[in-house]
Amino acid sequence: MVIYGFVVIKVSVSGKGLFCFELAWFFLMPRKRRTPKEGSGESSSQASNVSNIGNIQQSVHAPASHSGPSQTPPPTIRRPVLSSPSARAGPSSRSDVPDLPQAVQASVGPQVPGAPPSSSKAITFPRRPGLGKLGRQIMLKANFFLLKFPHEDIFHYDVTISPQVPSKNSCRTIITDLSNAHGGQELGNHLAVYDGRKSMYTAGRFPFSSKEFTIKVAEEDVKSQTQRREKQYKVVIKFASQLSMHRLEQFLSGDQTELPQDVLQALDVVLRESPSRRFSSIGHSFFSGTFGRKILTEGLEAVKGFFQSARPTQSGLALNIDMSATTFIKEQEVIAYVADILRKDLRRPLVDADLVKVKTALKGLRIEVTHRGNMRRKYRIVGLSSQSSRETIFTVERNGTSKRVSVYGYFYEVYNMKLVYPLLPCLQVGSLERPSYIPMEVCKIVKGQRYLKSLNQRQTTEMLTFTCQDPRNRETDILKAVVENKYNTSPYVNEFGIEVSETLVPVHARLLACPKLKYCNDRGREISYTPELGYWNMRDKRFLNGGRLNNWTCVNFSSSDISVAVAMTFYQQLFGVCRTLGMTCNLNPILRICEAQSDSLDQVLNGIQTELTASGKTLDLLFVILPNNGPLYGDLKYKCETEYGWVSQCCLRKTIMEPKPQLLGNLALKVNVKVGGRNTALADPIPHNIPQFSNAPFIVFGADVTHPRPGDDASPSIAAVVASRDWPQATQYAAIISGQGHRKEIIEALYTETHDPEHGFQAGGMIREHLLSFKAATNREPAHILFFRDGVSEGQFSQVVRDELTAINKGCKSLGANYEPRITFVVVQKRHHTKFFPQTYGDDKTSDKKGNLLPGTVVDRDICHPAENDFYLCSHGGLKGTSRPAHYHVLHDDNKLTADQLQSLIYNMCYTYVRCNRSVSIIPAAYYADLAAFRGRHYRDHVERSESGRGSVPIRVIPSVKDRVKRFMFYC
């Protein structure tokens, strides 16, 4: 290889008249020669004569035979030549990509939207260790559509609008008016695309670097409400950067490890421009009644749409398109909306509970008035008046005189309107300091407002019914959305020289074999069993380790429907199933079954504790019969697990009344693990398939964070970390729950430090506590850590692995300076839009009868990351709708696991989930972490209900679970 370079010599004269020389060497490393395409107007001489010092520091590679000068990106050509990277970036070219050091490199370039929070360091993730080979080869299709994109650069401009405009739609209106008024010579005849905020992109340079425009937009006069006036805006467009498409080509071909997020974002905006003008846009999704609409209860409607996002893949750049749906508040009269919510006659006065419900539902909504004909001014609701429209009084000034009048009287005098609902409160609009009041019956809800609060149970059921699609119908709708959007005839897409394929990408997949499970037979001997299609039953099988249930009792909060005799009959049936499955059960409670009311929880539990103390006995399990799914469940779990140290099992009234065999079997699975039993385990222990783990113990972690419900802007987020306590089975998981900052995704309590005046420095945190628990249970320290992190988006990868991996290492070091277990950190994602479909429906070798993937289907090529170690795994059998595979992305790997080792490990462990006899959709450790985090939400809600009315601030510290409870899987 020949290395070219140049020397810069700086000569200066010092104050003493001496000459000073400074030398700087700059080396130009050869890069892969970009072969000119026919008709591109690009020649090798052109490419070699263009210098681009800004690219000198990029890490590039060249063939050994390449001895010419370094090749740089081609000069800008006005009309682009389309380029598809798929030929250079096919999966076969990366079947044995070597591991790269997980180095921390200095980040380059400005922070881009959607990227991790700014930092002086950028994380380099592990490269793919090769493609998996285990399993039967099959072919599928994915909802990805390949893109061809131009060689030429894209130009990025910053947009500033003043006065500031809060709405994206309003910003788009202003920019559209600007383009219509100045789209000729002043903008260089370029068709620009705009993201609705700060960024504008063009296929060529504007004839200026920075320019200010004045735009006048017609809008309603606030004071008179009778005439239109023009509001003036200043728009400054300033050149920001020139985005090199060559960087994206290098990334797709594997020559560059850092994704050019700014380039990808620009292409995303280009592809979104036309849909944004036609449909309601929310995030990466677009919604319209043309795709489907359904009226839900309580004034809501579900609207279908589609999701689209440009994604780099091994096959090249592709557009991921999937069907989507969300809920909107129906465009209707406010009175109709309130009537639908309350289901009562609005001519009667509302009670306090009704007023609270209405205020919660209406606050923040945009409305328009209907009593002034075509002059429909829009407002945002900030609250309700404290009195009815007949009692709400304000001052009117006319001809220099003041008059006090009610809202009811004002509308009768001025508009000759006799309000039909005078007993309803008025809507409060404007500001809290200077409120204005408008009767509900003259207001209409503005169209297109998304409903952000949680759906109730009935609405959720209606939504699931509306959106549930089998694979064939979903694929058909996706293809219709592609045709409907007419990407290749869009003037914006054409302006940037982009082409979109209209066929789904073919995908190479593999079908892994089902693992063998260990059970016992009726003689207590271990047997192995191989499930089929991810499902099995307990016929002729017993638990691997049956638990002992000696001391139990029951609290019945549904005594009005269920007698003690009925409850005892149910538990006799349940314990019969438990005994058949290998458990040891005492058929009689140690304390009599207690009948109680929902408001006497504290009194009942105190009574049980008193009796237990007097008898000197401990409680193995507390059974509870609940009337419904209300807050009593959370209150009970909080009391039992954080105050009394009891593990509990709740049953709904309808379950007791109709004890079906399958339900009793599922309850037995939960009861067994809650008293320390083990339902099943893998027949082939994990170390057999992973030689690295053969002689040293390993621990499996699962971690998740659950955030407050939509609309809650103060409550803390809840983090949960679970970890295995048994080795080598990894089937029993302890859980630790912690509260942290509002909507904070990074887990804050993985490692903690405290400085106590009495005890000095104290290390703590979830990692340390779990490692100590593992050592206490196995008498060994784990040499390998498998950490599965749920709920992290791609934009948070760098921050999560930087902060949480550091905390994990510190937690390990706190046990000893020389303790350094090897860590594998994997993110588990379920909230993505990748779907797979069979090449041929009805082929039972690739899919089930509905067209869903078979359990064990794994994809690590074609539509995965161009270089990093990720894969999709469908580990479960589909029940309804279209199966969604889990996406696993390796962010750190000291254990150097091969693709086959990691994929088969995760798939096999999906058969060990304790709550059902099915393989589950994500690795159980992540599933358990999600359950534990949700349990923490119940703790938080209980404390906040208890503190309501006391003027306290939202809690952040979640009470700790009692040590005795931690030993069991209480959260299942």
Query: For 475-526, how does the pLDDT look when each residue is reduced to its tens digit (9 = 90+)?
Result: 999 999 999 899 999 999 999 999 999 999 999 999 999 999 999 999 999 9
pLDDT exceeds 80 at position 614: yes
Give the model's pLDDT for residue 695: 81
Burial class for 373, CB neighbours closer than 10 Å (0-12, 13-18, 19+): exposed
Q: How many CB atoms lie within 10 A of CB 247?
A: 21
pLDDT exceeds 60 at position 789: yes
Q: Which CATH architecture has domain 254-330+448-503?
A: 2-Layer Sandwich (3.30)
Average pLDDT over residues 630-658: 95
The answer to whether residues 293 and 243 touch, using CB atoms and an 8 Å cutoff, is no
- Collapsing DSSP to helix, strand or coil, 173 comes out as helix
The answer to whether residues 583 and 546 touch, using CB atoms and an 8 Å cutoff, is yes
d(CA 281, CA 308): 11
| Among the ranges given (13-22, 470-479, 847-856, 913-922), the one the predictor scored with the smallest mean pLDDT | 13-22
Q: What is the DSSP string of 720-777?
A: EEEEE-STTT---EEEEEEEESTT--S-TTSSEEEEETTTEEEEESHHHHHHHHHHHH
DSSP state of 967: T
d(CA 211, CA 237): 6
| Among the ranges given (1-10, 168-177, 358-367), the one the predictor scored with the smallest mean pLDDT | 1-10
Average pLDDT over residues 568-582: 96
Query: For 334-373, how does the pLDDT look when each residue is reduced to its tens digit (9 = 90+)?
Result: 999 999 999 999 999 999 999 999 999 999 999 999 987 7
Give the model's pLDDT for residue 84: 40
Which run of H or E residues covers position 689?
A: helix 686-689
Give the model's pLDDT for residue 150: 87
pLDDT exceeds 90 at position 923: yes
Of residues 718, 730, 659, 727, the one with CA closest to residue 697? 727
d(CA 491, CA 177): 18
For the chain, the residue count is 972
Domain 332-446 has CATH 3.40.440.10: no
Alpha carbon distances (Å) from 401 to 144, 234, 404, 406:
70, 41, 10, 16
Give the model's pLDDT for residue 954: 55
Q: What angle do CA 685, 830, 652 make, to 5 degrees?
A: 85
Q: How many CB atoms lie within 10 A of CB 379?
A: 18
Query: For 319-331, how does the pLDDT look when each residue is reduced to its tens digit (9 = 90+)?
Result: 999 999 999 999 9
d(CA 477, CA 500): 17
pLDDT band at residue 92 using 50, 70 and 90 as cut-offs: very low
Give the model's pLDDT for residue 757: 82
Supply 804's token pair.
């949480």
Residue type, 924: P
d(CA 28, CA 16): 37
Q: Which residues pair with 9 in a beta bridge?
A: 23
Buried b (16+ CB within 10 A) or exposed e, 845-860: ebbbeebbbbbbbbbb
Burial class for 610, CB neighbours closer than 10 Å (0-12, 13-18, 19+): exposed
pLDDT exceeds 70 at position 115: no
The answer to whether residues 194 and 269 touch, using CB atoms and an 8 Å cutoff, is yes
Buried b (16+ CB within 10 A) or exposed e, 635-660: bbbbbbbbebbbbbbbbebebbeebe
Give the model's pLDDT for residue 100: 30
Mean model confidence pLDDT for the chain:
86
Q: Give CA 438 to chain center in angstroms.
A: 39
pLDDT exceeds 80 at position 730: yes
pLDDT exceeds 70 at position 850: yes
The answer to whether residues 388 and 427 touch, using CB atoms and an 8 Å cutoff, is no
Give the model's pLDDT for residue 220: 52
pLDDT exceeds 70 at position 61: no
Angle between helix axes 766-778 and 797-813 (nearest 10 degrees) is 50
Q: Which CATH class is domain 546-675?
A: alpha beta
pLDDT band at residue 692 using 50, 70 and 90 as cut-offs: confident
How large is the C-alpha radius of gyration of the chain? 33
Say which residues have a Cβ less than 8 Å from residue 85's Cβ, sequence separation at least 6. Answer: 249, 252, 253, 316, 317
Q: Which residues pair with 401 in a beta bridge?
A: 398
DSSP state of 643: I
DSSP state of 640: I
Give the model's pLDDT for residue 633: 97
pLDDT exceeds 60 at position 96: no
Average pLDDT over residues 58-81: 35
Ramachandran category for residue 482: left, alpha or beta (phi over 0 → left; psi -120 to 50 → alpha): alpha
Query: For 740-759, how does the pLDDT look when each residue is reduced to its tens digit (9 = 90+)?
Result: 999 999 999 999 999 888 87
Q: How many CB atoms lie within 10 A of CB 461?
A: 13
Give the model's pLDDT for residue 685: 81
| Among the ranges given (385-399, 611-625, 721-735), the one the predictor scored with the smallest mean pLDDT | 385-399
Give the model's pLDDT for residue 874: 98
Q: How many CB atoms lie within 10 A of CB 307?
A: 20
Average pLDDT over residues 808-836: 97
pLDDT band at residue 107 using 50, 70 and 90 as cut-offs: very low
The answer to whether residues 738 and 769 touch, using CB atoms and an 8 Å cutoff, is no
pLDDT band at residue 938 using 50, 70 and 90 as cut-offs: very high
Establish whether the linkage from the previous residue to 435 is cis, with ω within 30° of 0: no
Average pLDDT over residues 420-424: 95
pLDDT exceeds 50 at position 56: no
pLDDT exceeds 60 at position 142: yes
d(CA 247, CA 52): 13
pLDDT exceeds 70 at position 427: yes
Q: What angle do CA 40, 46, 52 make, to 5 degrees?
A: 115
pLDDT exceeds 90 at position 555: yes
Average pLDDT over residues 575-601: 95
Domain extents for the chain?
155-242, 254-330+448-503, 332-446, 546-675, 696-947
In this structure, what are the phi and psi dihedrals at residue 360, rounded to the nearest 5 degrees?
Answer: -65, -40
- Collapsing DSSP to helix, strand or coil, 673 comes out as helix
The residue written with tokens 């995030």 in the block is: 283
Of residues 337, 346, 327, the one with CA closest to residue 285? 327
Supply 354's token pair.
């009704």
In this structure, what are the phi and psi dihedrals at residue 174, rounded to the nearest 5 degrees?
Answer: -65, -45
SS (H, E, C) 245-277: HHHHHHHHHCCCCCCCHHHHHHHHHHHHHHHHH
d(CA 19, CA 22): 10
Which run of H or E residues covers position 704?
A: strand 698-706
Say which residues have a Cβ less than 8 Å from residue 703's Cβ, sequence separation at least 6. Answer: 719, 720, 721, 722, 747, 787, 788, 789, 790, 804, 926, 929
pLDDT exceeds 80 at position 226: no
pLDDT exceeds 60 at position 933: yes
pLDDT exceeds 70 at position 832: yes
Q: Which residues pair with 19 in a beta bridge?
A: 13
Query: Which of 874 and 46 is assigned the larger pLDDT?
Result: 874
Query: Which of 169 and 680 is assigned the larger pLDDT?
Result: 680
- Collapsing DSSP to helix, strand or coil, 220 comes out as strand
Of residues 156, 941, 912, 970, the one with CA closest to residue 641? 970
Residue 765 CA neighbour count, 13 Å, CB half? 24
The residue written with tokens 């370094």 in the block is: 70
Residue type, 634: G
d(CA 920, CA 924): 7
Establish whether the linkage from the previous residue to 163 is cis, with ω within 30° of 0: yes
696-947 adopts what CATH topology? Nucleotidyltransferase; domain 5 (3.30.420)
